[in-house]
Amino acid sequence: MPIRRFMQLDVFAPAPGAGNPLAVMFDAGGLDEARMQAFAAWTNLSETIFFLPPTTAEADYRIRIFTPRMELPFAGHPSVGAAWAAVEAGLARPRAGRLVQECAAGLLPVRADQVDDRLQPSVRSPRAQERTLAAPDWLLEEHVFGARRGPLEPALWNNGPDWWLLELADAAAVRGLQPDLDAIASLPGKGKLAVFAAGDGGADLVVRGFAPGVGIPEDPATGSVNACIAAALHRAGRLPGRDGRYLASQGREIGRDARLQLEVDGEGEVWVGGPVHAVIRGTVDW
């Protein structure tokens, strides 16, 4: 089997160990979908990405994104990590501070910002849309899993993956939530639920993401769901922070401390980014 370059990154991490791990396989040409899926299942991380040659001159690089169970058209932390890895490995060079990622969701612009002399990518999410699917009765009750709901009605949103969004009354309700994972797994849209509320100091928004329907009880940091939340709050005229920018906190309840930078630009597009660290570098024989 060919020996391929490999990294394991920590994405949305102010320091190594605080964010969401991402497995990165370079030089993945020659691997079929079944072998990619098998490797993603073997790593058992929430997502694994595979670098492939772009199919269009407009793209700087191309990736495929896999969970342990399935391929995704888009996911936030793999996209942010991919941009960082592409530059670090010499696969791409920003032009006027920009990159273009090719993935199953299409061509996505990426900003290659420098923060404290480190590359900090931000990817423009595919435009999030609310899906016309009725929420189950238990999700519409005043209290869900013992926590009081916030003013935003629960709804299913999609920007590649589907996520049910549930606003809770305050950050303490989010931090202390004890969810019924079996109930979440039964939700239409592959069994995923994000809860959020205004921040409790140090961040503008507190978020937790549960995805038992795809084998992830709780995700440490989820770019796609944070982009959906930003779109929902922007539509409701309730975007936190200043000038369309805010900071989200996720993962503290499972021993992480991820920080996600969100921005809704003047055209209503949502950008999600954050710091990235390489924790493991080497090769894989696959």
d(CA 214, CA 208): 16
Q: How far is CA 210 from CA 97, 137, 154, 227, in A?
A: 34, 19, 15, 15
d(CA 8, CA 4): 13
- Catalytic: which of 33, 47, 253, 269? 47
Give the containing element (helix H, strand E) for 7.
Answer: strand 3-11
The sign of the torsion formed by the CA atoms of 26, 41, 18, 250 equals: positive
Beta partners for residue 110, in sequence order: 99, 123
Q: How far is CA 265 from the centre of its chain?
A: 19
Q: Which residues contact 31 (CB under 8 A, 6 or more apart)?
A: 25, 39, 50, 286
Instruction: Look at residues 191, 68, 84, 32 and name the one whose alpha carbon lies nearest to residue 76.
Output: 84
Q: How many helices (H) and strands (E) does the chain have?
A: 6, 20
Opening angle at CA 148, ends 160 and 232, nearest 5: 30
Decide if 167 is catalytic: no
Catalytic site positions: 47
